[in-house]
Structure 1
Amino acid sequence: LYRTRITGTVLLDLVDNHPHVLSIDTPPSIELEGMELLDIDNPRLPGSLDQVAAGPPIVVIDGGVIPERPLIRRSLNGPAHRSFIPDTPAWIDGGTDGHGTAIASVAALGSLRSKLLRPAADDQVLPVAIARVLDDNTRLPEAVNVKSAIPEIANQMREMNRAQVFNHSLASRAPFNRQRMSVWAEALDRTAYDNGGPGCLFVVATGNIDGAVSPSITQLEGWLTRPGHPRYLADERCRLRNPAQAINVLTVGAYVPQAGAPFTQRQTMNRRPIAQNGAPSPFTRTGLGYLREVKPEVVEEGGNFYIEAGTRLRRNAQLTDVAVANSQFARDGRLIRFMNGTSVAAPKVAHLAGLIERTIPGASVDLIRALIVNAAHWPERLATTEDTLRILGYGVPDPERALLPGGARCLITIEDRIPIGSAHYFRIPFPTDLFDPTPETVIRVSVTLAYRAPVRKTNAKYRGTILEWGFSKMGESFDQFRRRCSTVNPEDSTDDEADIEDEPIGNWNWTVKQRLRTRGTVQKDWFEAPASDFEDEMFLCVIGRRGWLSKEQQDAGFEQSYALAVAIEVAGVAIPIHERIEQLVRLQVPVRA
């Protein structure tokens, strides 16, 4: 068995004139693409990389960058950059690790593999602003006080660049403390909340299982045999690294869309990928979160680990992993290198957030977060629903589902402010006549609520407010629905899980269930049912309750902003439900209970 790179002429000669050649095959596409990426040079870059989209930049809170790298040069040309390391004014990287350059390239381009090998006319490259906090050794200096640095970065970047999306691919060595919220995570939560103002969206990596703290690499190697991947990821020692437990941020884990290992390593070293197609990355850290809520909320491509000779773990990235800009291009001539880690998964989600900003001008950070989570789907289902939510969150966000509603997918968005102690009600029409010929058609309904709560780490409840949503059950009238929701009694209820009842009998078959989904500040659930089960209208409510917020603050009219994304999809049939509901929908003035 031989591996070679040949021209088309030689290939034809082998096929036509050499009877001892029994078979010819090409490398797996992901490996072939990696080889092609390594061969790309500056003059052959797609012209679409020159098309930097207008609008505010994605802020990358990370190390410095090499600004003249061809892949990110234009993205960095325009936004204001700053170093937030005391006595280190330069935002240019003086080291060789290139972490900041790599993260900036993914935030700007999304998938470098797609942008370089399959360029499209409508490709968008996003501007990026650098907020430097790591030194030349990719370490967080002791002089950087994250409690003050996080709000300072947000305030200055909003003022200089009008930015509201921030990528945060940083983590401490230790997993988060379940008994007490950290200063770092609280700083992210407070800054995102912004005293009830416009706020900002922090996209935060879960952190990696890298042997720096428990579990050790020896422990991980043992787990690969028993209980095996991905079951070991549900172990408590694999929980999120601080500050990924922050409740007002969008936490991102890693998965492997397409597994592979370079051919020569497979043949000579018996090297195999650990995670298979659609599986969580072997190093991704997992939830549940500080409030036992769903964390991470989403996952994105983060690369793989490999097993060699059946037992030895290999963690170094291969050309089948995530392509990033190479900060050492001037030295070795390679535009691309490859990385693995949740650090490179987070900026891909930040890139999607930037695309939503441009598709829906004026979208709040709550709506952006709701749309990303609502567009997510599980790449695979693990042993139990809770294990799937702990490891994969709500799944992989699909840009088309977030950006391009229409046809068989209807998307309804709502943004509002609710006084705590009250409820908002909405009517959603459903075109039952569309399905008279095919009543067995499967309909999928998903609801996502996102809000940013005031927080206080000195209070055991941590969040000052709690919102939850309710949905009418089959055949339920508005009066029946409203009476059922009123039993929650939001005026007097506090953030006590005992007050949250399970789904009522006769309800739709929701996936996550109310008790688990209500623990977080982004709450998604979904069900599937035949079209024949739907009436002409459905009802949705949002209920505002107190956490540590005082009764006096509630009586003074304290309001909580929120966003809802409701998707109604037809499975497998091109029925234009979006256009019909768009004609019918008239969101009523919210009714305050």
Structure 2
Amino acid sequence: MAQRNKAHLLISGRCATSDYTPVGSGGDSKQPPEPTDRQAHASAIRGGLQSAEQEARLRREANSVAVPESIPGTYVTFESFPDVELALDSLDPRSGTTHPELRAVRIDEVSGQLVEFATVFVPDGTMSHFLNRLDAYLSSVDASKPNHRNLVDRIQAVHLATVEALWTDPTSQFPPADEQVWWELWLRRRDGNELTRLRTYAEADGVDMRIGRRALGFNTRTVVLARTTARQLSLAMDILDDIAELRSPHHRAEFLADEDAATQREFVDELVARVTPAPADAPVVCVMDTGVHHTHTLLTGSLEPHNCHSADPTWPAEFDDNGHGTRMAGLALYGDLGEAMDATGPLPLRHRLESLKLLPPPGFPDNEPALYGAITAAGVSTVEVEGTERPRAYSMAVTAVTPGPSPDEHAGLVLGQPTSWSASLDALAAGRGVVESDTGLALLSDADPEAHRLFVVSAGNVTTFDRDHLTRSDLEPVQDPGQAWNVLTVGAFTNRDTLLHPPGVYDGWSPLAQRGELSPFSRTSVAFNSTWPVKPEIVMEGGNVAESPDGAERHPLGALELLTTAAPMTPGTAGSSRQLTTAGATSAATAQAAHLAARIMADYPSLWPEAVRGLIVHSAEWTPAMRTHLDQTSTKRAKRTVLRRYGMGVPDLTRATRSASDALTLIAQETITPFTGDKLGEIHFHDLPWPTDELVNLGATLVRLRITLSYFIEPNPARRGWNGRYNYASHGLRFDVRRATESTQDFHKRLNLKALQQGEQRPKSAGETGDWLFGPEAQRAPGSLHTDIWTGTASDLAQRGLVAVYPVGGWWKEQAARGRVDHEARYSLIVSIATPDVDTDIWTPVAQQVGITTTITT
């Protein structure tokens, strides 16, 4: 895929409005492929193995560095057929004293399909393990079931492994060949001398490699940090047999958080010297928590004392009462603080911080749960009265336990239903002021579109950890107020799948969740009734949980969390206190999501809060571990269940803010009138600037279309059935796309009864082509954000540049006496086209259509 270095395209003036009356309307994973020519298939694999071995030998002979006790051999990469798993056990025989050994496995998405890459170290003299099996396969190739077919039929290609083959983090994060960066080197434990051999190599003439002073071991691996280039590591692979895996370093949480105050201060001072705070009018993240220690060295340039507030004016605002708010502030400002410390060169920040103390300090009465909505509203009012008007993302990692069913309520309807707290957030997001009274939730004023707010809210944490942590998370519902419709609710996943610890501490313990899987902390909406929206919408890094060798104990460890800022627990002790600590769970995930929101606001200051929320969700993708669950579902409804666990996956700043020549994102912001009187009002047709010619030229190439519709509803939180006039949402919006064989006129007539002439029959509906991931289920789902992904041919997509947005029912329509008829509603429509693995430019012709010829400077 091309580099994402182009601006998303904001479009306007291409939306046609019509009066609207709706028209009435009455997987398994692939088996190993059987090659068409097994003889040629096996011969090609044999040739790949022999060529790899010969090339590796020549590379060793050309390398002047010699390391005693290293074992000469060849790193070989086996590549699977798409959506087929390799026979990993057969690639890792473990027989004899010297044998091939599986070192690293990675799954990449190639043209929309998952391909598995396994890298094996084959010591000299042991390639016969594979060659003998190929001989046996070839000798029985005429049989219906050749020998070793389970091994051979799954392999698409074999080649000499590159240094990238040992990289098990996302391929997009692999450093440039000659860039000096820190790496995590995962060394296979063989004889205890692995570090000695590595240091011997690093100290040889002509080698530019710095090895970290600390190394920690677990199970069969030793992990050490090395600062070098990818090119140097490639040369090291020719000599050293010890390298098993390469990763981006997460050492700051594991190592630096445990250092003494003086050592931490050295690292903090080095980062501060590189940081330039954002200007005073930059976007802000308002951390709604226990307060923030604003004099922290890493925060003070971005958080001024007058931007520290309390929801209750009697609470002191400028001190963090238990450290949680300061931990969140570090993540909200820097994202992953460990990555910021690993980086080199200047670090200009794009946003600033505010603090809103939402929880009472020690010595003050606890907040009553029934008053959380009012306390939140009062705090927001304080922030906005005293603060300047600027783009703002509210970050709230404070949740309450979701109440259980009362005797007269059906349990299935309780989970996920609105509370006064969640409804307050919905009202605030929609631009309304709220207050609690004896009679319920009172809306103080009409919603002001210019006062729309973005709230980023935690899904809440699981506190009891089972070995089957996914089932536990599915049974633990999102906590109040994370069920709010208008907020961005954040769950947690984890890439922290290794437990690095000093010798003798937690020996034998292991991380509970696998890489890319849901964090054991994260709650879900699987248990919600289908009446309520899908939550969380996204997941971000929240750390992992450690499990004892006997499986009897499971609990959080700082070594599996993220590095962040620490507050002194006693006022006036900052100079002697440790400035760094760790944070995890959905709180940490929420703060990082707020950081992402502020970065988007900085790049696109004209975007509405609903558009920023939409872009974050639109940029999210499922990890291979998540995608496995999705691909195993056989129905659209089952996919929705998986969606209630992971949301749309893990968002990405680059995807959220940048297009590429082969990955185009269009953003439209419009205002619609959903209802006229007690009837539906308008339908919008977006005639999008479309790369029609370029798509036609691609013909049968598979491409992807992604659409996200984001808007804010006005809540009606009274508990009276949630149907008809008692609908919770003021209105709903939906989208539809013109089909490939459908004319513009027929598209209008398929959706809008008013497009038909008097007496005219509705035209026969054009058949849908391609494949929607969720289909009608995505459109019927409750909530104020709808998203779906379509896959089909480029020539098909060339005809689909017309998208409709239309209203469905809500209490605005049913309760005309409340004065909301003829009320306008804003929405954001986000449309992306991706042509993966195809060398074509779809961005430029569309940019020319909208009159944009420049890109955003990064």
- 1:168 and 2:396 matched: yes
Report matched runs for 1:5-16 at 5 Å. none
- 1:197 and 2:459 matched: no
CA distance in 1, matches of 2:848, 2:274: 37
Aligned to 1:213: none
Q: 1:428 aligns with which of 680, 684, 688?
A: 688
Q: For the Cα contact (< 8 Å) 1:202–1:250, is it kept in 2?
A: yes
Aligned to 2:622: 378
1:515 to partner: Cα distance: 2.9
Q: For the Cα contact (< 8 Å) 1:317–1:339, is it kept in 2?
A: no
CA displacement, residues 275-318 of structure 1 (integer Å, 9 cap, x when unaligned): 12211101100015573322111111111111111413332233
CA distance in 1, matches of 2:643, 2:487: 17
Aligned to 2:830: 565
1:577 to partner: Cα distance: 0.9
User: Do the aligned partners of residues 303 and 9 (structure 1) sit closer, same or farther apart at CA in structure 2, a change above 3 Å counting?
Assistant: closer
Q: For the Cα contact (< 8 Å) 1:176–1:245, is it kept in 2?
A: no
CA distance in 1, matches of 2:578, 2:303: 20
Q: 1:103 aligns with which of 322, 328, 332?
A: 328
Aligned to 1:83: 310
CA distance in 2, matches of 1:138, 1:374: 44
CA distance in 1, matches of 2:588, 2:673: 39
Partner-residue secondary structure (3-state), 1:397: coil
- 1:56 and 2:283 matched: yes
Q: 2:294 aligns with which of 58, 67, 77?
A: 67
- Give the letter for the 2:519 counterpart: S
- Give the letter for the 2:686 counterpart: F
Aligned to 1:402: 656
Aligned length: 552
CA distance in 1, matches of 2:195, 2:739: 61
Report matched runs for 1:152-551 at 5 Å. 152-159=378-385, 160-163=387-390, 164-174=392-402, 178-179=413-414, 180-194=417-431, 195-198=447-450, 199-210=452-463, 217=464, 220-221=465-466, 224=467, 228-235=468-475, 238-264=476-502, 269-288=507-526, 291-328=531-568, 330=574, 333-379=577-623, 380-381=626-627, 382=629, 383-384=632-633, 385-420=639-674, 421=680, 422-435=682-695, 438-458=698-718, 459=720, 460=722, 461-486=727-752, 505-517=767-779, 518-550=781-813
CA displacement, residues 247-273 of structure 1 (integer Å, 9 cap, x when unaligned): 111100001134211144798521111
Identity %: 24
1:78 to partner: Cα distance: 6.8
Bigger shift: 572-581 or 105-114? 572-581
CA displacement, residues 46-90 of structure 1 (integer Å, 9 cap, x when unaligned): 534233254132111100222221121211137622112352233
Aligned to 2:353: 128
Relative to the length of structure 1, the TM-score reads 0.84
CA displacement, residues 485-519 of structure 1 (integer Å, 9 cap, x when unaligned): 12599xxxxxxxxxxxxx98524411122234441
What runs of 5+ residues in structure 2 fail to find an aligned partner? 1-188, 206-239, 258-262, 406-412, 432-446, 634-638, 675-679, 756-764, 852-858
User: Do the aligned partners of residues 137 and 443 (structure 1) sit closer, same or farther apart at CA in structure 2, a change above 3 Å counting?
Assistant: farther
1:5 to partner: Cα distance: 9.0
Partner-residue secondary structure (3-state), 1:410: strand
Partner-residue secondary structure (3-state), 1:254: strand
User: Do the aligned partners of residues 258 and 442 (structure 1) sit closer, same or farther apart at CA in structure 2, a change above 3 Å counting?
Assistant: farther
Bigger shift: 123-132 or 519-528? 123-132
Partner-residue secondary structure (3-state), 1:230: helix
Q: For the Cα contact (< 8 Å) 1:56–1:161, is it kept in 2?
A: no
1:176 to partner: Cα distance: 7.4
Partner-residue secondary structure (3-state), 2:556: coil
Q: For the Cα contact (< 8 Å) 1:317–1:338, is it kept in 2?
A: no
Aligned to 2:844: 579
Q: For the Cα contact (< 8 Å) 1:272–1:306, is it kept in 2?
A: yes
Partner-residue secondary structure (3-state), 2:694: helix
Bigger shift: 163-172 or 23-32? 23-32
CA distance in 2, matches of 1:322, 1:488: 56
Partner-residue secondary structure (3-state), 1:165: strand
Q: For the Cα contact (< 8 Å) 1:376–1:396, is it kept in 2?
A: yes
Q: For the Cα contact (< 8 Å) 1:251–1:298, is it kept in 2?
A: yes
Relative to the length of structure 2, the TM-score reads 0.59
1:190 to partner: Cα distance: 0.9
CA distance in 1, matches of 2:795, 2:365: 57
User: Do the aligned partners of residues 354 and 408 (structure 1) sit closer, same or farther apart at CA in structure 2, a change above 3 Å counting?
Assistant: same
